[in-house]
Structures are given as C-alpha cells and as structure tokens.
Amino acid sequence: MISALVSKTVWQRSLLFILAAVMTVGLSVGLSSCSEAQLRTEAAQVPRLVVSSLSDPKTFNAIMSEEQNDVLGYIYDSLLSQNGLTGELEPGLAESWEISDDQLSIVFTLREDLKWSDGEPFTVDDILFTYNQIIFNEQIATSDQDIFRIGEAGAFPQVTRVDDRRVQFRSPEAFAPLLRFAGGGYILPKHILETSISTTNSQGQPLFISTWGTDTPPNQIIGTGPYRLVGYEPSQRIMLERNPYYWRKDAEGNQQPYIEQVVIQIVESTDNSLVQFRSGSLDVEGVSPDYFSLLKREEERGNFTIYSGGPALTTSFLTFNLNTGSRNGRPLIDPIKSRWFNSLEFRKAVAHAIDRQTMINNIYQGLGVPQISPMYIQSPYYASPEEAGIPIYDYDPEQSKQLLQSAGFQYNAAGQLTDSDGNRVRFTLITNAGNKIREALGAQIKQDLSKIGIQVDFQPIAFNTIISKMDNTIDWEALILGIGGAGVEPDGGRNTWSVDGRLHVFNQAPGAGQPPLEGREIADWEEEISRLYVQGSQELDEERRKAIYAQTQRLAQENLPFIYLVNPLALTALRNRVEGVKYSALGGTLWNIYELRITEQ
C-alpha cells in the first residue's frame, strides 16, 4: 500500500482486508446514525465485524481508485483468488483456467449462474467490457492500465469471447505475469456502467472517470464480492451487508460469508484507533511497535490475540522530488533545491545520515529490520546484497559530510550546510498526519540531518492533500511514505518504476487531462530500470527473471530514488470471538473473510 498510497496492483487490492467493519442486513437506515455504543450493542445480537480506516475513500470506483481504499476488497471479486498463506492462485469467479502451449494465451471458464450484488447475471460480456472499454481505454489513465502494457510497445492483451462461459486473454508477446494480472483484476458491471463510457463530460472525457464517487447512493454500487455497500457517512463509517448473491458456499452448501455485517470506522489517527480497540469498539487493530508492549499485556483481559506474520509486505522510504519540469513557465521545484535533490552525492549523504538502528530500537521497539530493497524479503525475486552487489548505506555521518563536500557543498561558521553559492540547505519534508510511526520517522530524520547541517522543516499533512500533490500539482519537495501490497510478483511494481507509471513518485509524469510539463528529464539509470521491468515481464525463465530483477534492485540502491528506512513486522490484534483466522504477512488478517465466523464469548 503506498501504505497510505497503495501501489494499486491486482492482488494488493484483493488483500485490503486489513481494516474493516460490519453492519446489518436490512438495518441500513438505523446504522446511518448509530453511535459506537449502539454498534457494540447490536454486534452482540448480529454477527458483525468492526474495523477502522485512517481516511475516507476518495471513490468507490475500483478502476479509478489510486490510494488505499479499504472497502474495495469487500465489494469486488476477481476471476481468481490468491491464497493468503501460500500466495498460490485458486479459482474465483472462474472455476478453472487453461494456458496455451506457447504461454501467450489463457482461457478462463466462469462458474455457472454467477450474479452481481443486484441479482443481475454476471457474464463474459462484463469481462470484455471491463478490459476492452475501461482498462484498455486510452482516455481513462489508471494504474491498472500501466500493468497491462506489454513489451517495449506497451501493447495490451486481446480479450475475446470464446463462448458464453469462457473468455480468452492473449498476449502479443511473452508476458510472465499475465495469469496473475488477468486473474486478479476487479470486474465492473456492464449493465450499470456502459453509458458512463459512451457519454463524455465538457472536456471530452468519459463520464466513467467521475462515476461511483463517494456521493453515489450506496445501493447503486454493484459488485461481486462477499459484501455490498449499504451506507457511508463521511468521516464516520462505511457500512456493508452480506451479499445474498455471493458465489461462495461451504462444503455443506451453506451460503458464505457467515458474518452478516461489516462496518469500517473512519478513525483519523492511530492513537484514536488504539483507544477504540481497547474500549471494545473495534475488532481488528494493526499493531504498531509503539503499542505492542501495551497490547501484549492486555491480550487475556481484552480477549484478543496478537498475530505475527514476519516482515510486512510493505516499504517505508524517504524520497525527494527529482522532477525538473515546469508548468506554464514556473518550475515545480525551486531550481536551487532541485539541483540538490538531483545530486547523487546529496542523496547518498542523506542515506548515510539516517540512523535506522535507532529507528528500529526507539520507534519500532525492536520489531523491524533495516530495509534495503524495493522487493519484499518473502519474494523469490529478492536479491541479497552480498549476492547481487547491492550497496547498503550504514549510519555514518562523517561519510555523509565527505560526500557533500566532494559535491561542492560547504559548512559555514555555524556548522550549517550551504551549497557552492552559499544557499542554506533547507527543505520541507511531509508525511500523512495521524500516522504516528511516520510522524516519528520524520522527527528523527529531521534530527539526524541536523547533525550534518541540513535543516528539515517537517510537516505532517492530510493524506488526501499528499495524494493531490503527488498526482496533480507535483509541487512537493520531500516525503515519507510507503508502497506495499503488491505481493510476490515483481511486475506489480512496474507502475512505480516505469518512467511514465502512475506511481513513479520521485519523477512523476502528468496524468491524463493534467497540464503538460516542460523540461522533465529522465536519468539514464531511471530509463534502464524502466526497461528492465519490461524485460522482466517478458522473461518466462524463472532464473533469468530473478537475475533481471536483481539488476533493478542494484540500480535502485545505487541511485537512491527511494531511501529505504525500516521494514516492520506484520502484527495485528484480533478479537478471539472471530474464528477461522489464517494470518500471514502476505494475506493479512481477513483475506479469508468469507469463511470467518463470529462467536459469542
């Protein structure tokens, strides 16, 4: 998840069950004004799960969503599902699939009698509509579109009907992730959304771009997932009920999911979320290291269990805005600061100046490891520094100072760092307010960099403001965020590393419909990583794929577009009344929500 900005790949979205909550079939009106006390009272009468989210959704449109959106995994389903323990692909809306001998074609066979949450039939036409008219539509720029661009030409696969229950995806050339990407995407209803594609706004863009916003009546949001939306109160809660048309049944033929209601409470700080969990208002709580000792002592009394899944599938990083572009003659970034940020020696100096072990000890309470790669440790494509020659930037302030001075920076009489023109080195660092870990990371980075003469103005701000700065204005200087949830397939990160990818945060290209940039430059190493990601996606031999992605990891660490910080352990507290949990760092807490049960204790 750009852990507040999620790298929106197909499998990460399927596993966004880390935060969630429940509500009653037929009680949408009553729930729209219910208090936390009422939720607890009603939860004792109706199987209901209550979870939290740090921010409101920006949209209920699964294709247009570019940020962490906790509701999507509940209301949408995919052709295939991913086992949250093993990462293996399993049948979903498709009961089976067949790969051609040349590995260029996959035919999915749908289950019989599938339905949307409004009771209408789910058909092959919905799949053709989603891919051919939405995802592959050049007028609708999304991260989903990025990951389906195949080869140097960026061609899309062909999606065609075989018969009433079978659909074929055929790649124009070898594309290793085709099965995971085609099988993992959310499908949208043609019978509801087709007119939004054929109708345009005043700018000539399809109305689909703004369709299913958060002001849409909940009963108009149609999906195939285990739940359907029945209520949304901004800054308060999202309410869902069990989808009566959901396709899953257990071995005895009983309808799933078993839990009738989910409520996602909007709790805009981790401190408040902790308070609500300890008071019994929430059933699930992501355990940050600073809360671990407190919650561990309360496990028995609070009737919950803390689950650990090893290092989390996420990254945390500091990044500088390397974009040299201008809009309407005005540089996005002060040219003086842009020269600092684009100096490799400057970025290396900053990397050496950050004391990650102190971060682990003080901020993460020992529950983390230094992060040195964009690949997750659990991934078979993770390359160890020793084997791949990947540099590690140990804490060394003296080395930082030497690097800066070799690049022409100087120290004045007060020990302040200046550039060769005498400009004081000072910049603004932002992160999402309410995330206590990131706020603590920012405070330490400010302190660490002050030791090498750099002044950091640290400003936690609203998450949606950060997203706007990254996607629209591109006018930020430095930020702390994280990208997570892409799973074990490295091509899930291609929209981060492609030079024109929607999540190429450190040197973002303008999105569709945005004012163009003049003077945006692409570095040779940046172009090479982008090229290698294309090459890796086309390589079908696993050992050669690993070698390609090892090169990308080495280039990323040599050039530091992201200065990685700490990889925390995946820890979640869950009420013991929730049964059937199969926790892992890959799947999270609720990846198998369809088979979870609520028991009275």
Decide which of 177, 194, 211 is a domain's last residue: 194
Task: Determine if the peptide bond prior to 257 is cis (ω within 30°).
Answer: yes
Provide, rounded to the nearest whole percent, the portion of the chain with pLDDT above 70: 92
* pLDDT at residue 322, rounded to an integer: 98
Is the same domain home to 210 and 236? yes
408-420 pLDDT, tens digit per residue, is 999 999 999 999 9
Whether residues 189 and 84 share a domain: the answer is: yes
Q: Over the stretch 364-399, which tens digit does the pLDDT of each residue have?
A: 999 999 998 888 887 889 999 988 899 999 999 999
159 lies in some domain: yes
pLDDT given at position 485: 53
* 423-480 pLDDT, tens digit each: 999 999 999 998 889 999 999 999 999 999 999 999 999 988 998 899 899 999 999 9
Give the pLDDT of residue 158: 97
Q: What confidence score (pLDDT) does residue 41 get?
A: 53
Bridge partners, residue 51, by sequence: 264
Q: Which of 147, 162, 194 is the last residue of a domain?
A: 194
Residue 412 has a pLDDT of 96
Shared domain check, 278 and 222: yes
Give SS3 for 161: strand
Same domain for 176 and 238?
no
How far apart CA 470 and CA 493 sit, in angstroms, is: 17
> What pLDDT, on a 0 to 100 scale, did the predictor assign at position 30?
34
Which residue has 């070799």 as its token pair?
406
Same structural domain, 64 and 139: no
**Which tokens hold the place of 413?**
């009489």
pLDDT band at 88 (very low <50, low <70, confident <90, very high): confident
**Structure confidence by residue, pLDDT tens digits, 214-245:** 999 999 999 999 999 999 999 999 999 999 99
Q: How far is CA 253 from CA 152, 248, 249, in A?
A: 48, 9, 5
Residues 137 and 57 in one domain: no
- Rounded CA-CA distance 293/301 in Å is 14
Q: What is the pLDDT of residue 17?
A: 32
Q: Sheet holding 455-461: strands in order across?
A: 455-461, 426-432, 478-481, 317-320, 562-564
152 and 107 belong to one structural domain: yes
How much is the pLDDT for 13? Answer: 38
What confidence category does residue 16 fall into, taking pLDDT thresholds of 50, 70 and 90? Answer: very low
272 in the same domain as 249: yes
Cα dist. 270→287, 290, 587, 599 in Å?
9, 11, 21, 27
Residue 390 lies in a domain: no
Q: What is the pLDDT of residues 180-206, one digit of tens each?
A: 899 999 999 999 999 999 999 988 899
Structure tokens of 387? 């084997």
Q: For residue 145, what pLDDT band results from cuts at 50, 70 and 90?
A: confident
Residue 426 has phi, psi (to 5 degrees) of -150, 135
Host domain of residue 128: 80-194
Q: At 153, is the pLDDT very low, low, confident or very high (cuts 50, 70, 90)? A: confident
Q: Indicate if the pLDDT at residue 559 is higher than 70.
A: yes
Where would I find the H helices in 99-142?
124-128
Question: In the structure, what pLDDT confidence band is assigned to residue 69 with cuts at 50, 70 and 90?
Answer: confident
Residue 215 domain-assigned?
Answer: yes
Taking each helix axis from N to C terminus, what angle separates 524-538 and 542-559, rounded to the nearest 10 degrees? Answer: 160
Q: Is residue 153 domain-shared with residue 220, that is, in the same domain? A: no
Q: Is the pTM of this model over 0.75?
A: no
Mean pLDDT of all residues in 323-350: 97
Flag whether 316 is in a domain.
no
- Tens digits of residue pLDDT in 339-373: 999 999 999 999 999 999 999 999 999 999 999 88
Can you give the pLDDT at residue 29? 29
Q: Which of 517, 565, 557 is nearest to 333 (CA)?
A: 517
Of 235, 261, 241, 228, whose CA–CA distance to 60 is shortest? 228
Q: Is residue 516 in a domain? A: no
Residue 587 counted as domain residue: yes
Domain CATH code at residue 220: 3.40.190.10
Query: Residue 486's pLDDT is what?
Result: 58
pLDDT of residue 9: 40
Instruction: State the average pLDDT for the chain.
Output: 89
Q: What is the mean pLDDT of residues 285-304?
A: 92
* 560 part of a folded domain: no
- How confident is the model over 75-103, as a mean pLDDT? 93
| Residue 557 confidence (pLDDT) | 97
Same domain for 190 and 261, yes or no, is: no
Query: What band does 44 get if pLDDT is binned at 50, 70 and 90?
Result: low
Q: Kindly tell me if the per-residue pLDDT of 312 is higher than 70.
A: yes
Q: Which CATH number is 93's domain given? A: 3.90.76.10
Domain final position from 173, 194, 215 = 194
What would the pLDDT profile of 104-127 be if each residue is shown by its tens digit?
999 999 999 999 999 999 999 999
Instruction: Using the predicted structure, report yes or no on whether residue 601 has a pLDDT greater than 50.
Output: yes
pLDDT band (50, 70, 90) for residue 42: low
Quote the pLDDT of residue 123.
98
Q: Domain tally for the chain? A: 2
- Asked if residue 310 has pLDDT above 90, the reply is no
Shared-domain flag, residues 223 and 249: yes
Alpha helices (runs of H) in 253-323, residue ranges in sequence order: 270-278, 289-302
* Same-domain check for residues 149 and 298: no
Q: What pairs with residue 233 in β-bridges?
A: 237
Higher-confidence position of 92 and 379: 92
The angle formed by the CA atoms of residues 442, 446 and 449, to the nearest 5 degrees, is: 130
392 in a structural domain:
no
pLDDT of residue 380: 84
**Using an 8 Å Cβ cutoff, are 183 and 92 in contact?**
yes
Between 390-394, 536-540, 577-581, the lowest mean confidence (pLDDT) is in: 536-540
- What is the average pLDDT across 289-299? 91
